[in-house]
Amino acid sequence: MNLFRLIILALAVWLAMRFLRRLRVTPPPTSRSANRMTGNMVRCAACGLHLPQPEALAEGDSYFCCEEHRRRSGPA
């Protein structure tokens, strides 16, 4: 009976140590990707999608999310 108690105690200690390690090694918050995005957000003149200005296609004072929208909104 004492061996059974010793095994249960060892298992409990092992589980506690594993749980405490996971608490200590938590990943950083996921806001790092938001910090990498620089520049203003602009709105596509054709569909209204908001995207970072460096990724947008500019034509005059208008911004577009893709080449197709830029062509479609161009002069007829």
Domain boundaries of the chain, sorted by first residue: 2-26+40-72
Predicted local confidence at residue 4, as pLDDT: 93
pLDDT higher than threshold 60 for residue 35: no
Mean pLDDT rounded to a whole number for the chain: 85
How far apart are the C-alpha atoms of 8 and 5, rounded to whole Å? Answer: 5
Predicted local confidence at residue 8, as pLDDT: 95
Is the distance from CB of 8 to CB of 16 less than 8 angstroms?
A: no
Q: How confident is the model at residue 31 (pLDDT cuts 50, 70, 90)?
A: low
> CA dihedral defined by 25, 30, 32, 35, rounded to 10 degrees?
-150
φ, ψ at 69 (rounded to 5°): -65, -35
Dump pLDDT digits (tens) for 20-30. 888 887 666 66
- Sign of the alpha-carbon dihedral angle for 22, 23, 29, 30: positive
